[in-house]
Structures are given as C-alpha cells and as structure tokens.
Structure 1
C-alpha cells in the first residue's frame, strides 16, 4: 500500500460591503488567501440594499464563487466585520424578518461545505475587504 499524501488547504477569506444611503447603491468585495491562491473581487449590487442586506449578500456571493471554483473541500474561515451577519448565521436565526430569506439561502449553501467557519473581526482588521467593497460601491454608483 502506497502512502498517500493528504493535502489540506486552509483558506482565509475576508468579506465586506459598502452602501451609500440606507437603502442605497451597494457594492461588495472579498479577499481569498490560501496556499498558492490569492483572489480579490469587487462587485456592484444592481438593487438598492440596506447595509445589512449588502453584508448578507456579499457572503452569499462569496459562497457562490467558492462553489463555482470547486473550493468546497478546503478548511475555510470567513472573516466579517458585521456582527449582525456573524450572529445570525451562528444562531441560524435573525430577529429581523427582512433578513429571513437571506439567512435561509446562506445556511443552505453553508451545508455544502464540510469545514466552513464564519468569524467576526473588528473593522480595523478588515481593511483589505473594506477597500474592495468601496470599489464595488463605486461600480454601483456608475450603473
């Protein structure tokens, strides 16, 4: 029997959203950092969102990207500076019914990832994703 080498890739991901107005034009961004992998994405949202809706939407967009790129089997830690998002996903519940469908959509996607963790971090530790989110907002303002 040959020794098989099991490679575990750990992905650190930072997400953020930016909104002008509440609701208003919004954008999002994420950074993915892993062994031999560095991805930065910024994107506009086509509809007007509240800040919290935009934060949930960035997480949903990130999960779609990870699924499309077949990055499901990695150990993944997603860092967000949104306490609302981190708490709602951890509790699998939100007090604000406006977020129910977003939380449900995200939880369905989360179930497809065996080792995905969501962690709250202070805004000061999320500067890279914040910069990308602001780029996404700039794109949204041009739409």
Structure 2
C-alpha cells in the first residue's frame, strides 16, 4: 500500500503565528485524511518541516512507502540532496531547526520516503488545499506553543 502526502507550512510574519497542514491519501482505498495545527510564534521553514513530520508520524506500519509532495525547497532539497545527513554527522552545528530535523530523521529511517517538489500556488488541488489549511491554522485562535523555537528566540534576544 503506497501513501501520498501533500504538506505545507505557513507563517504570518517570519517569525510570527504559523501553521502546518498535512493531507494523506491512500489511493487504493480512496482514503483522504487532513491534519493541521497552528502555533503562536514560529517560522515558515519550521511549519514546512513539521507538516512532513506529522505525515510520517501518522503512518501505522513500519516500512511504508510514502511520496511527499511539498512546495518547500528547504525541506525537499535538504533530504533529497542528503544535506541533512551531513548536518547530522556534524551535530547540526550552526543549523536551524535541529529539534525538528532530529525528529524527522528518526521517522524517515522507519519508512521508504521520497519527495517531490511541487510549485506552490500553481493550481495543484491538494497543494492548494494544504496551503488553505496551513493558513487557516496560523489564523486560528487555538494556537500551540512552539516551545523549542520560543526558548531559542529568548536565548538569542538575551545575547545582546
């Protein structure tokens, strides 16, 4: 059984309130599931990556084959060009979103994951829907706290 995921992230300001969305499709059984959530202070790249993580966390069986469609070059290139593997070897020194990349790599190694970049806002039905969900999540009143990011922001602000 192959799964397709469409993922997107949004940030209203960078940093600012943000949201992610994940749409999972199982084509044989024609199952579609949507997931989204907003955060009070985060970045677009964090939400793009979190959307992918949520897609992988929703997989029930190990070694599931999944193709992830994303309009994020940051996420797609980091994985497909193996940059994240190099960052991991160097302990993520100087890299942003270390917490999410570590979480991603654990999940990535449990499945057969491939990425396809899709141009955003270009009429792709599921990419457009993921964008709509991510923006709605960022605009919602039910915003979670991106604890790692907010703590990091506080530390950076305290440096000056």
TM-score normalised to the size of structure 2? 0.71
Alignment of 1:1-143 (within 5 A): 9-34=1-26, 35-36=28-29, 37-45=31-39, 47-66=40-59, 70-90=60-80, 91-93=82-84, 97-113=95-111, 115-123=112-120, 124=122, 125=124, 126-139=127-140, 141-143=141-143
- Count of equivalent residues: 129
Judge which range, 34-43 or 85-94, deviates more: 85-94
Cα deviation, 1:85-137, whole Å, max 9, x if unaligned, reads 11112214269611333223211210011x22122111123212111112211
Q: SS at the partner of 1:21?
A: coil
Misfit runs of 4+, over 6 Å: none
What is the rounded CA distance, in whole Å, between the counterparts of 1:61 and 1:48 in structure 2? Answer: 18
Cα deviation, 1:30-72, whole Å, max 9, x if unaligned, reads 1111122111122113x51111111112212222222xxx144
Alpha-carbon RMSD across the aligned residues, in angstroms, is 2.0
